[in-house]
Structure 1
Amino acid sequence: MKLDHLKVLRAVVETGTVKLAAETLNRTQPAISQALKALEFQTGTELFDRSGYRLELTPVGRRVYLQSLRVLSEADDLAHLIKHFEKGQEETITIAVDAAANPDVLTPVLLDLQSRFPDTRVILRAEVLSGAIEAVQTGTAALAVAPAIQVMLEEEGFDYIPVDRSFMRNVAAPSLIGAMGAPATLADLRGLHQIIARDSGQATGLFDRELGVQKGQRRWYVSDLHMKKQLLATGLGWGRLPEHLIADELAKGILQEIKLPNTHLSFDIEVFAFRMRKSSSGPVASYVWNTFEAASMSLEARERAGS
Structure 2
Amino acid sequence: MKLDQLKVLRAVVETGSVKAAAERLNRTQPAISQALKALEARTGTALFDRSGYRLELTSVGRRVYLQSLRVLSEAEDLTQLIRHFEKGQEETIAIAIDAAADLNVLTPVLAGLQTRFPDTRVVLRAEVLSGAIEAVQSGEAALAVAPAIPVMLEEGDFDYRPVARSVMRNVAAPSLLDAMDAPRTLADIRRFHQVIARDSGQASGLLDRELGVQKGQRRWYVSDLHMKKHLLLAGLGWGRLPEHMIAEELAQDRLREIVLPHTHLSFDIEVFVFRQRRPAMGPVAAHLWDAFGM
TM-score, with length taken from structure 1: 0.94
Helix, strand or coil: the match of 1:132?
Answer: helix
The corresponding residue for 2:258 is: 258
Q: Does the residue aligned with 2:275 lie in a helix, a strand or coil? A: strand
Which stretches in structure 1 are left out of the alignment for 5+ residues? Answer: 295-307
Helix, strand or coil at the partner of 2:107: helix
- Mapped partners of 1:66, 1:204: distance in 2: 59
Task: Tell me what 2:118 maps to.
Answer: 118
CA distance in 2 between counterparts of 1:29 and 1:181 reads: 89
Matched, 1:32 2:32: yes
Q: CA deviation at 1:264?
A: 0.7
Instruction: Name the structure 1 match of 2:50.
Output: 50
Equivalent residue of 1:191, what SS? coil
Higher deviation after alignment, 147-156 or 51-60:
51-60
Residue of structure 2 in register with 1:11 after alignment: 11
Task: Provide the C-alpha distance between the structure 1 equivalents of 2:221 and 2:280, rounded to a whole number of angstroms.
Answer: 37
Q: Tell me how far 1:182 sits from its aligned partner.
A: 2.3
Which residue identity is paired with 2:293?
Answer: E
Query: What is the letter of the counterpart of residue 240 of structure 1?
Result: R
1:81 paired residue number: 81
Runs of 4 or more consecutive aligned structure 1 residues displaced over 6 Å after TM superposition = none
Query: Aligned residue pairs: how many?
Result: 294
- Cα deviation for residue 187 of structure 1 reads 2.0
> Which one-letter code corresponds to 2:149 in the other structure?
I
Post-superposition Cα deviations, 1:65-119, rounded to whole Å, max 9, x if no partner, equal 1111111111111111111111111111100000000111001001111111111
State the distance in 2 between where 1:286 and 1:105 align: 18
Alignment of 1:90-169 (within 5 A): 90-169=90-169
- Identity over aligned pairs, percent: 79
Deviations 1:199-242 (A, max 9, x none): 00001111111111111111100000011011111111110000
Which residue does the alignment assign to 2:208?
A: 208
Question: What's the TM-score once normalised by structure 2's chain length?
Answer: 0.98
Provide the C-alpha distance between the structure 1 equivalents of 2:91 and 2:165, rounded to a whole number of angstroms. 32
Letter paired with 1:273:
V
**1:57, CA displacement in angstroms?**
1.0
Q: Any residues of structure 2 matched to 1:287-306 within 5 Å, and which?
A: 287-294=287-294
Question: Structure 1 residue 126: deviation in Å?
Answer: 0.5
Q: Deviations over 1:164-192 (max 9, x none)?
A: 00001000111111111222111222111
1:247 match: secondary structure: helix
Separation of aligned partners in 1, 2:186 and 2:279: 43
Q: CA deviation at 1:50?
A: 1.1
